Amino acid sequence: MAGKTKSPLILWHLLSFDAPTVATVWTWFIARAHHVSLRASSLAAMAAAVWTFYAADRLLDVQGAGADALEARHYFHQRHRPSFMAGITVCSVLLATLLPRIPERAIRLYLILGGLVFGYFVIIHATRSAHRLPKEIAVGICFAAATFIPTVSREPGLRLVLLAPALLLAALCSLNCLFIYAWEHPGGSAQTPHPVTATALAHLNGLAAAIFLLSAALACLDHRVPWSLYGAVAASTAALGLLHLNRPRLGVLFLRAAADLVLLTPLALVPFL
End-to-end CA distance of the chain: 41
Q: Among 19, 17, 59, 2, which Cα is nearest to 180's?
A: 19
**Count of other CB atoms within 10 angstroms of residue 74:** 18
So what's the pLDDT on residue 3?
A: 47
pTM, two decimals, is 0.90
Burial 164-195 (b: 16+ CB within 10 A, else e): bbbebbbbbbbbbbbbbbbbebeeeeeeebbe
Entry field: residues in the chain: 273
Boundaries of domain holding 130: 4-272
**pLDDT per position in the chain (273 positions), as tens?**
444 556 899 999 999 999 999 999 999 999 999 999 999 999 999 999 999 989 988 888 777 555 556 778 888 999 999 999 999 999 999 999 998 888 889 999 988 888 887 777 666 655 555 455 677 888 899 999 999 999 999 999 999 999 999 999 999 999 999 999 899 888 765 566 778 888 888 899 999 999 999 999 999 999 999 999 999 999 999 999 999 999 999 989 999 999 999 999 999 999 988
So what's the pLDDT on residue 219?
A: 96
SS3 of the chain: helix, strand, coil, percent, to 5: 80, 0, 20
Distances in Å between the Cα of 189 and the Cα atoms of 126, 162, 185 are 21, 36, 6
Distances in Å between the Cα of 124 and the Cα atoms of 64, 86, 140 are 12, 24, 16
Residue 41 to residue 151: CA distance in whole angstroms: 14
CA angle 125, 126, 130 (to 5 degrees): 50
So what's the pLDDT on residue 2?
A: 46
The total of structural domains in the chain comes to 1
Residue 60 to residue 249: CA distance in whole angstroms: 32
Radius of gyration of the chain (CA): 18
Residue 258 to residue 241: CA distance in whole angstroms: 12
Residue 163 to residue 89: CA distance in whole angstroms: 35
Distances in Å between the Cα of 261 and the Cα atoms of 9, 128, 144, 266 are 8, 30, 16, 11
